[in-house]
Amino acid sequence: EVDGSTWKSLDAGSWFSPKFRSEKPLTMNELLKDYGRKTQILLEIKGRGDPRLRELGREAARTVRRQKLERSTWFLSFHPEALEGVQEEEEHRIVLNIEEYPADTKDLNTLMNLLPRLAALSTDVDILDQSVADLAGEAGVPLWCWTVNSEAQLETAIKFGVQAVMSDRVQWLMSKLPR
């Protein structure tokens, strides 16, 4: 956690290329104000092990609602409790990232409570299997996966009926899709 002045002094671009060294990170309010009416926004709530995840979700949802951007903003998280916080505030479009089918009963119960409210379910293509595809099917939501960078991964995504993929190899992926 950092304060506003420290946040604004961070370098958000040089990891990508030296020519982006001067890029400064936006706050969530700045992102929504500057781009929320121009495009769809996908906000990811992170914080593995953070006991404030539910509250972070609630505050993010309040911020979006204050700016009247509920229809153009999606919430994404690996943490069901963060998405529960989003849903406690109001109906928002949420996408749950899953790394594995929850073995823990508490996680499974949380996931089952979220299913009726999900806009999509997203997973790593390397763990995609029939149980994950069935979960999306039972919830009646699209299945997305990441990161599809090989023929075998693309075949897996197609086999399980994935509707959206993320890839580091966009030109390669586009060449594989039917025209």
The pLDDT value given to residue 125: 92
Selection from 71, 126, 117 nearest residue 98 by Cα = 126
The pLDDT value given to residue 63: 93
The pLDDT value given to residue 151: 94
What is the Cα–Cα distance from 10 to 14, expressed in whole angstroms?
Answer: 10
The pLDDT value given to residue 10: 81
Per-residue pLDDT of the chain (179 residues; tens, 9 = 90+): 667 778 778 877 777 678 777 777 888 888 899 888 887 787 888 887 888 999 999 999 999 999 999 888 888 888 888 888 998 887 777 787 776 555 455 556 666 677 677 888 888 999 898 988 988 888 888 898 988 989 999 999 999 999 888 887 877 887 887 76
* Contact assessment for residue 149 and residue 167, using Cβ atoms and an 8 Å cutoff: yes
What is the Cα–Cα distance from 163 to 104, expressed in whole angstroms?
Answer: 28
The pLDDT value given to residue 55: 93
The pLDDT value given to residue 64: 93
The pLDDT value given to residue 1: 60
Q: How far is CA 168 from CA 35, 40, 106, 111, 137, in A?
A: 24, 20, 34, 28, 27
- Which phi and psi angles does 52 have, rounded to 5°? -95, 15
* Contact assessment for residue 90 and residue 70, using Cβ atoms and an 8 Å cutoff: yes
What is the Cα–Cα distance from 117 to 105, expressed in whole angstroms?
Answer: 20
